[in-house]
Amino acid sequence: MEGVVAYIEDEGGEIKLTFDDVSCRDGENPSTWNKEFLFTSASFDRDAISSLSLSKEQFAEIGENLIIRLLALNGKIQ
């Protein structure tokens, strides 16, 4: 199985959102995932992201990146 892990890091006045590609060798017991590659990262103003004040376009871009990557990793993009 292939997937994406998202995590944040505090970088002073910004929050860095990172998506990494991960894989799981045991599809029957998906409790252990291994990092494969960095997919993408973006930094956002700490106050804006913490108060959920990003624009609709920014939130849409985050979600779009996640869905596109999951589909690509699993061979589902046509």
Give 13-38 as a DSSP string.
TEEEEEEEEEE-S-TTSTT--EEEEE
Which amino acid type is present at position 24? C
Query: How would residue 4 be classed by pLDDT, with cut points 50, 70 and 90?
Result: very high
Angle at 6 between CA 56 and CA 72, to 5 degrees: 85
Residue 56 corresponds to which tokens in the numbers above? 């609709």
Helix or strand or coil: residue 47? Answer: helix
- What does the pLDDT look like over 11-68, one tens digit per residue? 989 999 999 999 998 777 778 899 999 999 999 999 999 999 999 999 999 999 999 9
pLDDT computed for residue 30 by the predictor: 78
Helix or strand or coil: residue 49? Answer: helix
